[in-house]
Amino acid sequence: MGKIIIANFKMNLSLEDIKKYIEIVSTADPDRFVVCPSNIYIPYFLNENYKVGLQNISYASKGAYTGEVSAVQASSMKIDYTIIGHSERRQYFNESIEEISKKIEQATSNNLKVIFCIGETLDQRDSNKTEEILKKQLESLMQKKSKDIIIAYEPVWAIGTSLTPSNEDIVNATLFIKKECQNYGFDNVEVLYGGSVNLDNIETLNSIKEISGFLIGGASLDPEKMLKILKVTR
């Protein structure tokens, strides 16, 4: 089977764009293509039998948490996945390792598969702290069920910047993540790469055997590009 492709729309696209998207990107690859739109658009994709993921989930199970969506609710909608710990959530919403850990707990105990994002900033990379940071972020995994968790290695400096690490750097980070996960009893964890994946670099990135797929932001917004990326990674 080809690589897993996660489309993270973030806070983009209008209803009109969404309808056009669904028309262009058919559900030909439902086993490996997951769309994460803004929550309000989710029913459109579910009606078309897409695999759908949330971009975030509440750490609480229910109650007075205005604006939040719980894993219990997502599961009742037959949503398959949720992204947790995206660097934009960590940066703009101050998500802590403890909070992220609770979110992972909520998701896995409600049958949602987790796309757990980790990655270093440029400063951290320049001061040779990448492995230390990845190790720290992976602490959110403690005592979780491994089979429901996929790790997305997303260097913060590569997100939305057109910069990507070398294939060698991605392989090294991926092998480090897999080794660390084994310490938590997670064997054969799947690791995705995310950060400025686009049509120009997808063939090069796709040659990395150690990764299981890609988390794609900017390039996923264009349905024609998405179709081409799905083809290359098939």
Could you say whether residue 53 binds ligand PGA (CB under 6 A)?
no
# residues near ligand PGA by CB under 6 A? 13
Which span sits near ligand PGA by CB under 6 A: 40-48, 62-70, 179-187, 192-200?
192-200
Distance of CA 71 to CAs 132, 135, 184, 205, 208, Å? 30, 26, 23, 32, 33
155 binds ligand PGA (CB under 6 A): no
For the CB of residue 74, give the shortest distance to ligand PGA in the complex, in Å.
Answer: 19
For residue 118, state whether it binds ligand PGA (rule: CB under 6 A).
no
Stretch that binds ligand PGA, among 12-20, 73-81, 137-145, 216-224 (CB under 6 A): 216-224
| Distant-in-sequence, close-in-space partners of 67: CB < 8 Å, separation ≥ 6 | none
Backbone angles phi, psi at 74, to 5 degrees: -60, -45
User: Quick one: which of 8, 58, 70, 212 contacts ligand PGA (CB under 6 A)?
Assistant: 8
Looking only at the bridges linking them, the beta strands covering 191-194 and 213-216 are parallel
**Single-letter code of the amino acid located at 75:** S
Give the nearer residue to ligand PGA in terms of CB position, either 59 or 157: 157
Binding flag, residue 150, ligand PGA (CB under 6 A):
no
User: Does 37 participate in binding ligand PGA (rule CB under 6 A)?
Assistant: no
Of 94 and 143, the one with the shorter C-beta distance to ligand PGA is 94
Q: Which residues contact 55 (CB under 8 A, 6 or more apart)?
A: 8, 9, 10, 36, 38, 39, 82, 83, 86
Which residues contribute to the site for ligand PGA (CB under 6 A)?
Answer: 8, 154, 159-160, 194-197, 215-219
